[in-house]
Structure 1
Amino acid sequence: MTSGRAVRVAQHSFLAALIGLVTVCGTASAQMAPEEASGGRYTFSWPYEAEDALKPRGGTTKGPPVTRVTEMTEAFQRLQAEGLSTFERDRRAILAMAGGYRASFDFLEVVGYPADYIPKAPYQSWGTEYVYVIADEGDFISLQHLLVMSIIDDEGEVRGPFINKHWRQDWHFEAAEAHTYRGANTWERTQRSKKARAGQWLQTVWQVDDSPRYAAWGEWQHEDEYSSWQGEETWRPLPRREYSVRDDYDALVGINRQTILPTGWVHEQRNEKVVVPSPDRMTRRLAMEYGVARYDRIQGYDFSEGDAYLEATAAFWGQVRDYWDRLLADHAVLHLKAQSDQASLFLPLFRRASEIAEGADYSSEANAAFVRETINGYLADAPERGGGY
């Protein structure tokens, strides 16, 4: 990796964590900037509310133009092939999410439950993002999202690309158990009977530092025009786009649907915002929002610096994932001191990864010790372990 590239990775990984460009579950705090539009807009909103009060929030950055793919992708053609088993068609639907995209993210509250509820401004953002297949073991597939973003500054110059590790989605066929969010920074092991999980894929979503976020079982459905997966209702922590500006609710309770299309995919969410005083008690619902993330496949965009970052840091992030896996295996209930991104707990991991991408020569043993010490600092009660990590 060149020194210039390494500096950009290191600087942006640190600065983005501070100003909000590193985000959770597909949101990058920046104004959406499609080639066809001059700014964000909504045609489905609250028509009787003051326009200024409901102007979409997000950021102000814009990116250079990109070229969308307009022909059916090879991945979608493979998904539509005749004679596939249901299991293989499911796999190809998951693998079709890999590749380079221009992503847009839209969230709009559509219901306020209290009589005096005041609608909050919708949210829009964008990102250029590559989805990498980092594991494919047949009945287990892991997809790592990486932001590779260039922005246009006030003088009209293009800056970047800036590299940031983003969210991860794991898919496990007929998984027997998962840790699901219970509120109050607590994840609890949930088990599923063999009959109940038959034919289902467990999707587990992890935060930027590979800490847990949410998990749900669901089945893929395949049509001539698309393939889609919808999970059951799940709890999840607040995303960055919300906790940075909201303190009136504690968790999301939502349903996800991911739809694979000929030139990309769409992630839909229906989220209720709830007030939660304890892990096992939900007192009231505050509002409900719709969310749509569109991943439009693009061509001609240079993702090579993302490739280089992922290659340079693969072993380190593998150790991070392994340690989280061990903690989850050892704890039926895992309680963190705070939400990892909200409390900036992930910053040491991002700094270490940036140093490695820059060429720092840490031994595997030193990295393992660093990972153990850092992640144990997340825990309300850090485990005492001997040997290994």
Structure 2
Amino acid sequence: MKIASVLTLCAAAAFAAGCQHTSTPPTPPATPAPVAAVETPAAPAATPAKPAVAPAPENATSYLFGWGDVPTKIANPRGGSSRGAPVTLAPDRALPLAEVANARDAFAKDRAAILALAGDYKVTFHFMETVGLTEKYSPKAPYHSWATEQVRVLADTGKLISLQHTLVMFMKKDDGTISEPMVMKHWRQDWIYEDTDLHTFRGQNTWARKTLTADEARGTWSQAVFQVDDSPRYEAFGPWTHNGNVSQWTGSREFRPLPRREHTTRKDYDVMEGVHRIVLTPTGWLHEQQNWKRVSGDTSVAPTYVAQELGLDRYDRITAPSLAAADKYFEKSGAYWTLVRKVWAEEFTRRDRFVFLARKNGQSSFEAPFAYAEKLEKGEPFNAVEAEQHARASIEAFIEQK
């Protein structure tokens, strides 16, 4: 198992996954971003690389779903260019899943569906703008990327289920060999039943408390999504429904910060306003998104949108390669990340509204926590008092009351 330096791995692995759930790490210095876990033979060492297909003429067009014929340079997806190790997909499962079908009541069915999100996955990320809302709008290139990721049950207290995503990336080198696994703690999702106390994103790096009535929360689950460093990203609530062989959760329409794949390329909007849906599938699960790209999060004026985007993140279960390297990582660093979550829970309790900066004084918010976890991974003894002080200082350095 290889734990790369904090800057290289945090940037590369998060960027590699087309990360929806990350802070804003710098562009990876050396590691290319993956785009597909498929086999592509490397060119012979002594033979100069040649394009497989002649370059398309300047005026060439290609079909793009939803748009028809567009310039080929737009139809080709953007993303990364590296190659992953081959994966073995797990056998399909019949729907509804047995654990859902056999659950005694709606609450138990919901819990079974959430717990079914855990496992080892090949993940593919697909995003495309489908509606333009500005004058002289032209279609944008779609986005496609990939990852191999473990989703582990971090906590299960009955009405709270916490799922931790961890990237375990195997790269295929130019000589055909497979790299050691590169491991990075990725995003987290916390599910709470009939939750009345949420913190939602408001734009301009701001999060604020949203209180639901008991009637509004009845029968619903909140899903709070956290960045790689356990700082907040977005939170929504909604019901799980189970109808025949379809188990799905649909969240409320809420704001989100720009994802990493957009943060460095788009300056024309500040907030994603979206509804997302999670659906269990025979191969795993699907995260479907309908995102409206909103110029400002200011709700005191009529909104202006630049485009609508559809997103499909497919989580397909795998049996190989083994992603057990994630377990080894948390054996050494897990106690520290528990304290990071503890400090954040305290911040949510005492702050109704706050600004959390992804970057301040030339440093990204994730750098200090990942550097500390890296020391533990390398064998430094864990000191709970020191670790909590470090976690608190690392978080408070980027929080501003508002």
Q: Is the 8 A contact 1:186 1:279 kept in 2?
A: no
Change (3 A) 1:73 1:133: farther
How many residues end up aligned between the 2 structures?
372
Partner of 2:9: 16
Q: Per the alignment, do residues 292 and 367 of structure 1 end up closer, same or farther by CA in structure 2, a change over 3 Å counting?
A: same
For residues 279 and 107 of structure 1, what CA distance do their matches in structure 2 show?
A: 26
Q: Please report how far the alpha carbon of residue 280 of structure 1 lies from its aligned counterpart in structure 2 after TM superposition.
A: 5.2
1:170-196 per-residue CA deviation (whole Å, 9 max, x = no partner) reads 000000110001000000100000011
Deviation at 1:248, TM superposition (A): 1.4
Name 2:20's counterpart in structure 1.
Answer: 25
Q: State the SS of the aligned residue for 1:70.
A: coil
1:277: Cα distance to partner? Answer: 6.6
CA distance in 1, matches of 2:210, 2:100: 31
Residues 335 and 299 (structure 1), Cα distance of their counterparts in 2 relative to 1, 3 Å cut: same
SS at match of 1:132: strand
Name the residue aligned to 2:327: 307
Q: Which moved more, 1:351-360 or 1:122-131?
A: 351-360
1:10 touches 1:355 (CA, 8 Å); kept in 2? no
For 2:125 and 2:86, locate their aligned partners in 1 and report how far apart those are by CA, in whole Å.
Answer: 17
Matches for 1:196-275 after TM superposition, within 5 Å: 196-275=216-295
Match of 1:140 in 2: 160
Secondary structure of 2:333's aligned partner: helix
1:236-265 CA-partner distances (Å, limit 9, x unpaired): 000001102111111100001000123300
Deviations 1:206-265 (A, max 9, x none): 111111111111001112323100001010000001102111111100001000123300
For normalisation by structure 1, the TM-score amounts to: 0.89
Residues 1:72 and 1:42: Cα distance change in structure 2 (over 3 Å): farther
Q: For 2:300 and 2:33, how far apart are their aligned partners in 1?
A: 32
TM-score (norm 2): 0.86
**Aligned 8 A contact 1:184 1:279 in 2:** no
| Distance across 2 between alignment mates of 1:280 and 1:357 | 47
Contact 1:26 1:166 in 2 (8 A): yes
> Which one of the candidate residues 195, 202, 217 is aligned to 1:175?
195
Secondary structure of 2:330's partner? helix
Distance 2:71 2:95 in 1: 46
Match for 1:16: what amino acid? L
Flag structure 2 segments of 5+ consecutive residues without an equivalent: 23-31, 43-51, 53-61
* 3-state SS of paired residue (2:265): coil
Maintained 8 Å contact 1:172/1:203: yes
8 Å contact kept, 2:340–2:391: yes
Deviations 1:297-320 (A, max 9, x none): 011321121111022111100111
The alignment's C-alpha RMSD in Å is: 2.6
Distance 1:37 1:198 in 2: 54
The corresponding residue for 2:79 is 58
Is the 1:275–1:282 contact (alpha carbons within 8 Å) kept by the matching residues of 2?
no
Counterpart AA for 2:331: E
Alpha-carbon contact 2:154-2:163 (below 8 Å) kept: yes
Going from structure 1 to structure 2, the CA distance change for 1:71 and 1:24 (only over 3 Å counts) comes to closer
- What are the ranges of 5 or more consecutive residues in structure 1 without an aligned counterpart? 383-389
